[in-house]
Amino acid sequence: MYHQQFEPNSYYYPEPEPKPQPSFLKRVLHLVREVLETIVPAVLIALLINLFLAQATRVYGQSMEPNLHTDQRLVVEKLSYNRHIRQLLRLSGPERGDVVVIRLESQGDELLIKRVIGLPGDVVEIHDGLVFVNGQPLNEPYVAGATTTGFYAPTTIPPLQIFVLGDNRGFSNDSRSFGTIPLEDVVGRAWFSYWPPEQIGFVK
């Protein structure tokens, strides 16, 4: 009797049917979803950082010379001047000598950069080219020997407000003209200079 012989490799294996390709619309929707899943969280994180932690700003004008210059770019940290976050994290409040960014409605919402001179409860006065805080002349190495122009009668800084001056006293619009600043109008503390390269460093 004849028996048909089959080689081990001679069996027929049918080719698997190709998987149906997604339509063009489905591919586009999938791509859009992937992009949104990547971009939306990044945008939300950036917004939260900008709202609560830090933001970038640029120096305009000469009111903070010789320490800050026009077009210098700064990172502004917001924790020190956000009352709720400061209390939550038990951070110290504003300090004399801080360089701060403020936004005043009376100045057209323009961002101004000034130095904190008087804190709540301090008595500030200006005469004879000097700034006095609580009856004592203030040591101000950052003004590079410049005198403080004008006269400011002894004034007690109200609660939750600060008194600010520009380092370039002869060319600064500051608390001598617009008075004390509510802390809620302080955007934050100028913390770090990142541009131009030769001015990279912490703001002092």
Spatial distance between the Cα atoms of 91 and 94, rounded to a whole number of angstroms:
10
Which DSSP helix (H) or strand (E) runs through 12? none
78 tagged catalytic:
no
* Beta bridge pairs of residue 170: none
Active site residue: 10, 19, 80, 114, which one? 114
Spatial distance between the Cα atoms of 68 and 196, rounded to a whole number of angstroms:
11
Active site residue: 10, 19, 26, 63, which one? 63
114 tagged catalytic:
yes
Do 93 and 109 form a contact (C-beta atoms < 8 A)?
no
Which DSSP helix (H) or strand (E) runs through 118? strand 111-118
Spatial distance between the Cα atoms of 156 and 161, rounded to a whole number of angstroms:
10
Question: 6-14: which pairs have CB atoms within 8 A and are 24 or more residues apart?
Answer: none
User: Which residues form the catalytic set?
Assistant: 63, 114
